[in-house]
Amino acid sequence: MLDGKSEYDTDRFLGHDARETTAEPPWTVLVADDDPRIHQRIHQALGQRLMLGRPLRVLSAFCGPQALSLLAQNQDTAVILLQADPGSGGGGLSTAAAIRRDKRNADLRVILRCEAAESIPPPETLLELDVTDCRSFADLTPERVVVLFNTALDAFQSRRTISRGRLGLLRLADATSQLVAPQPLRKFAREVLRQLHAVLQLNANPLPFQGSGFTATEQDGEFLIWAATGCFDGMLGQPPEVALGGHLLKHLERARNERTSFFAGSSYYGTYCTRSGVRHLLYLDAGRPLDQLDRELVSLLYASVTQALENLYLHREIRETQEDVLTTLGGVIANRSGEAGSHGRRVSNMAGLLAQKAGLSPAEVKLLRLSAPMHDIGKVGIPDAILFKPDRLSPEEFEKIRRHTDIGFDILKNSRREVMEAAVIAAQQHHERWDGRGYPRRLKGTEIHIFGRIIGLIDVFDALLHSRVYKHAWKLDKVLDYIRAERGRQFDPGLVDLLLADAFMEINDRFTG
């Protein structure tokens, strides 16, 4: 029974010479048996051997709790020879069951040692405990021990490869989902390195991934490092020649010049040229040998990187086209509304500044700046006789002009583009009031989207400062007095405080015209 009191002295039997003959880490195997003769036999048979190209590190335990403790401390254990001892209440089998309950040991191969052939557990028990083999004491000759452990290690390696492959594919799927999201190019470059680390940092690998790498992008004919990790931290903005030298730089130059990607030793060299002609380089030093699975995962991820990068450039091109269209359309709307041609640009810039001071994210600020000029698009549906009337509007005419918020909503509502969805908010909500007396939906307070509150305030601020067909421009002091008077009534009080505390007039002066 596994009831020994102390760990067997294993140092005498470790094959130090064997371990020093290879750079590969040793296999860790555990002998859990209360019979010292078993430990002596296993150590003598395996201590000086290489198996599957690697030496062995043999640990010893003399009881079940000791075996479980050693397994917890040595997560890389590949094989355990475990005393079954069914005649004493199933001590060894209980240990085997505990091993299988620990999901961290799913790939561990279990060999049971029984006193005699007739005490071998029934097949259903062996299957339930996922036992690789079961041998009697007499079967454990030195020759059979070598064959037995070699077979078990091969089975462990195969299962570990499958587990690593499954985990790698899961991480690859997650990496791909992270890379396809639209994002700034520099952030994308950092994300590529992060996901490469995640894919190669497989717990099942006997050596941890402690790599370094960088991505470089061509600018004006020169490659500059845009993102870096490991020993290349601190080299952003520098050419790759600063980071690499000798044959490493020659490999990178080959990847760049031949526009190819390949592995060399523990390193990966990748290059990609977008359809717009921009070239990118990727260098990764894994810090350990890359096995076939590592290389396949890196290659698959890089295929995703190249496609994601192409999509990123395409998305950026679409976004820039949208910006041009919205800016142009904003000017057309301003002219159509009888407003100064720079009204849209002033509202856009002042709304962006106010959004920034209100704590919106950079992405939200940019989105608001792009969509702000579209707030009056609904005025294209208002008759000229009303839109350009120099006198006070009648109640009926005012009701018609109020419809421009709903008209703007109807024009933009069917687009699923993010910037158009923001423009829908701007068009429909910029005449809502903080006190709930606005139109068209009589929203109140924070029911009004922050975009609507910001544009509503900035639109009035700018409109009062400039002449219209129905009014002269107000002096700045009068405008500010009006804004203060409407704080908490027409306008969000917090936004009013931000507006009054800052010099928005600089934007007004820059775009007056």
Other beta carbons within 10 Å of 10: 16
Residues 6+ apart with CB under 8 A from 352: 365, 366, 368, 369, 372
What stretch of H or E contains 38? helix 36-46
| Distance set, CA 314 to CA 274, 281, 317, 321, 323 (Å) | 10, 19, 5, 11, 14
User: How far is it, in rounded angstroms, from Cα 285 to Cα 272?
Assistant: 18
- For 370-426, the pLDDT digits (tens) are 889 888 888 888 888 888 888 888 989 989 999 999 998 998 888 777 888 899 999
* Predicted model pTM: 0.46
Question: Would you kindly state where each structural domain of the chain is located, as residue ranges?
Answer: 11-163, 180-313, 337-510
Instruction: Give the C-alpha distances (Å, rounded to integers) separating 446 from 227, 497, 499.
Output: 40, 16, 18
Q: 337-510 has which CATH code?
A: 1.10.3210.10
pLDDT tens column, 466-509: 887 778 889 988 999 999 999 999 999 999 999 987 766 666 66
| Confidence at residue 207, expressed as pLDDT on a 0 to 100 scale | 45
Q: Considering the domain delimited by 180-313, tell me its CATH architecture.
A: 2-Layer Sandwich (3.30)
510: which 2 tokens?
């820059």
Q: What is the pLDDT of residue 291?
A: 74
What's the CA gap between 300 and 290, in Å, rounded?
14
Contact present, 457 and 331 (Cβ < 8 Å) = no
pLDDT at 493: 96
Residue ranges of the chain with per-residue pLDDT less than 70: 1-24, 85-91, 161-191, 194, 198-210, 276, 304-325, 327, 330-341, 503-513
Euclidean distance between CA atoms 286 and 268, whole angstroms: 8
Domain 11-163 carries which CATH code?
3.40.50.2300
Query: What pLDDT sits at residue 205?
Result: 44
In this predicted structure, what is the pLDDT of residue 16?
33
